[in-house]
Chains A and B, each alone.
Chain A
Amino acid sequence: EIVMTQSPATLSASPGERATLSCRASQSVSDNLAWYQQKPGQAPRLLIYGASTRATGIPARFSGSGSGTEFTLTISSLQSEDFAVYFCQQYNHWPPLTFGGGTKVEIK
C-alpha cells in the first residue's frame, strides 16, 4: 500500500496570501496524483489531477506541481471560499486508493 503524507496538518494564512501545501508518497506514483478540497458538511471536490491539471471549473489560482514522490498544491492568493481541508490522493497503484491525512487551511 502506498502511504501518502501531507504537511502541514494546519496552515494559518490571511486572505490574499499564498498557500503552499505538500504531499509525499511512500513510493513513486508518477504523476497520478489528485488534490481534493472539502468544506464542512460537504463532499470532497476534485481540484487537480495528473499532479498539475485543473479539473473543470477550478480557478487558475489553484496550481499543482511535482512528480514521483513529492507534490505541491499552491493557492496563489487565498480567497474566503478557499478556507477548507485539502487532501491528496494517489491513483497510480490501486487497490487501495490512498489519501493523505489532509491539510486544514484556516484563517489567520
Chain B
Amino acid sequence: QVQLVESGGGVVQPGGSLRLSCAASGFNFRYYGLHWVRQAPGKGLEWVAFISYDERSKYYTDSMKGRLTVSRDNSKNTMYLQMDSLKADDTALYFCARRGEIFGLLNYWGQGIPVTVSS
C-alpha cells in the first residue's frame, strides 16, 4: 500500500535551515507529483509546495516563496523540502501528500514531521 514517511524535522533557530525528506513506497514513485502541506499547532492546513513527477513544475506558497526549494530523487523514491531563513511562524507539522487519480486531491498522507523554530 502507499506509504509516505517524513523525516528531517527538529528544532532550529530563527534564520536557520532544515531539509525535510519524504520517503515513498508502495507505488511507482516516478509517475506522481507530490505536495508538502503544513499545520501550525492548533491551526488549520496550509499547502506549502508541489513538485511534478519529472521536476519540470515546482510551485510554492507565497508565504514562504524565496525560502523554499522542493526537489526529488526518483532513484531513491524520495522528495525533499529545503527550508531556509526560517521564522517562528514556520513552526508546524509538515506533511507530504500524494494525489490519487485527480490532480490537486490529496489522497495519501504521511504522518507528518514537526519543525520548531525557536531560539
Contacts and interface: CB of A to CB of B under 8 A. Distances in A.
B44 A49 contact: no
A43 interface: yes
B45 A87 contact: yes
B103 interface: yes
Interface string A58-91: 0000000000000000000000000000010101
B27 interface: no
Contacts of A91: 102-105
Contacts, number: 61
Nearest to B49: A95
Contacts of A94: 47, 59, 104
Interface in B43-71: 44-47, 50, 59-62
B9 interface: no
B105 A96 contact: no
Contacts of B106: 34, 36, 44, 46, 89, 97
Contacts of B37: 97
Nearest to A100: B44
A101 B44 contact: yes
Nearest to A53: B102
Interface of A is mostly: loop
Interface in B66-114: 95, 100, 102-107, 109-112
A44 B45 contact: yes
A98 interface: yes
A89 B50 CA distance: 16
Given A32-B104, A91-B104, A99-B47, A43 B109 contact: yes
A55 B107 contact: yes
Contact of B47 (A50, A97, A102): A97
Contacts of A46: 100, 105-107
Q: Which 3 A-B pairs have the closest CB atoms?
A: A91-B104, A43-B109, A95-B59
Interface of A: 1, 32, 34, 36, 42-46, 49-50, 55, 87, 89, 91-92, 94-102
6 contacts: A34-B106, A36-B45, A43-B112, A49-B102, A92-B104, A96-B47
